[in-house]
Homo-oligomer: A and B are copies of this chain.
Amino acid sequence: MNSRIRWLRNQLTSLDLEGMIVSNPINVKYLTGLDEEGTFVITPKENIFITDSRYTESVNRHLTLDDEIVVFNMNEMSKYDYEGIFMTNESVGFEENYVTYAEYMKMLQRYQVELTETEGLIENQRVIKDEDEIESIKKACKITDDAFEHIKKFIKLGMTEKEVAFEIDKYMVTHGAESTSFDTIVAFLENASMPHAVPSDRRLRSKDMIQLDFGCKVNGYCSDFSRVIFIDEIDDKMKEVYDFVLEEQMKIADGLKDGANIKTVIKDRETDYKLENETIMHSFGHGVGLEIHESPILRARQDCIIKENTIIAIEPGVYYPNNFGIRIEDTYIVKRDGCRPLTTSSKDYTVIKLS
């Protein structure tokens, strides 16, 4: 049995829970290493992975005896098999933030137990990364930085946002990434005023600016990264906004050291935004790991101490509707003296002459 499952079993004991039903596939992967669809059930006696005929072959290829995980095929399970999983009808943990209301009602009936909310038990454990996890994220960050270098040479006037986005995706996937970690954002000038712009057929023109936001996955672990490219020239207003955003990012990265409270660090940033009359359109960042958005969220209401080896994306941004927007983002690792960037592309003004 691996250390993560052993840790969870100890937690369940101290929470007075007879076991736990883990449904969130990301948590299942974290605990078991399995990518296949299924439910991971911890009982006093056993660790059970309940899957279906589509996945039994592939699950059996991946698991070894050392995993101490029993595989059940749900296509062969009766009502009584489910009821027999837990010995008593005592309290069993479930993931209230993942399980739908309908699934909750079905689980109650199926397992005949009392279900107790676990309040992000596994998600909270996932915040601090071990060496292997950090190594995977570093690899994803390296591919991401390389993709940025590549795209700077690739862009030409007349290209569409879609074409640029596709080239970024292709570069990452053909250079060691399993996949992108989210839908790549490429937004030219006026489209950059929307933080979640979707690449369109808008063509690149002289004096545009480009907002890029992308990342990739290695061993299931994500990177997250945003940069701005100025085409042909950079005007004074954009320069000013760029400087402001970059300074905010650096202040957050300095502030978020092991033991710091997120609330304190972010409150100061909100004050900066107010002084500049800027609106805060989204959080200042978020944890990164098996999911692109994980705990903690960098918001002033997050009264939470950050710890060493937390991986976070810091991404302040400023947006002017129908005009332009600027966001700078890097994936960082939290250390005792502040955050160290894992994406390391230059943050000097990137101006590319294309005319």
User: Which residues of A from 32 to 88 have beta carbons under 8 Å from B?
Assistant: 35-37, 53-55, 57-58
Residues 163-206 of chain A, each 1 if its beta carbon lies under 8 Å from chain B, else 0:
10010001001100001000100000000011111100000000
* List of B residues within 8 angstroms of A173 by Cβ: 162, 166
Query: A354 in the interface, Cβ–Cβ < 8 Å?
Result: no
| Interface-lining segment among A91-99, A129-137, A233-241, A247-255 | A91-99
Query: A100 in the interface, Cβ–Cβ < 8 Å?
Result: yes
A4 to chain B, nearest CB (A): 22
**A35, A173, A197 pick with most chain B CB within 10 angstroms:** A173
* List of B residues within 8 angstroms of A102 by Cβ: 96-97, 117
Chain B residue at smallest Cβ distance from A102: B96
* List of B residues within 8 angstroms of A279 by Cβ: 53
**Also in contact, A281 and B54, with CB within 8 A (given A99-B100, A170-B166):** yes
* List of B residues within 8 angstroms of A196 by Cβ: 36-37, 54-55, 58
Bound Cα distance from A27 to B197, whole angstroms:
21
Bound Cα distance from A104 to B105, whole angstroms:
12
* List of B residues within 8 angstroms of A58 by Cβ: 194, 196-197
* List of B residues within 8 angstroms of A150 by Cβ: none
* List of B residues within 8 angstroms of A57 by Cβ: 193-194, 321-322
Instruction: Decide: B53 and A281 in contact? CB cutoff 8 A.
Output: yes
* List of B residues within 8 angstroms of A197 by Cβ: 58
A334 to chain B, nearest CB (A): 25
Residues 127-147 of chain A, each 1 if its beta carbon lies under 8 Å from chain B, else 0:
000000000000000000000
Chain B residue at smallest Cβ distance from A183: B179
* List of B residues within 8 angstroms of A162 by Cβ: 173-174
Bound Cα distance from A97 to B106, whole angstroms:
11
* List of B residues within 8 angstroms of A55 by Cβ: 194, 196
Bound Cα distance from A99 to B102, whole angstroms:
8
Residues 279-313 of chain A, each 1 if its beta carbon lies under 8 Å from chain B, else 0:
11110000000000000000000000000000000
* List of B residues within 8 angstroms of A117 by Cβ: 101-102
Bound Cα distance from A58 to B281, whole angstroms:
13
Residues 1-45 of chain A, each 1 if its beta carbon lies under 8 Å from chain B, else 0:
000000000000000000000000000000000011100000000
Interface residues of A (CB under 8 A from B): 35-37, 53-55, 57-58, 94, 96-102, 104-105, 117, 162-163, 166, 170, 173-174, 179, 183, 193-198, 279-282, 321-322
15 extra interchain contacts, Cβ-Cβ under 8 A, other than A36-B196, A53-B279, A57-B321? A37-B196, A53-B281, A54-B194, A54-B195, A54-B196, A54-B281, A55-B194, A55-B196, A96-B101, A97-B102, A99-B101, A101-B101, A101-B104, A162-B173, A170-B170
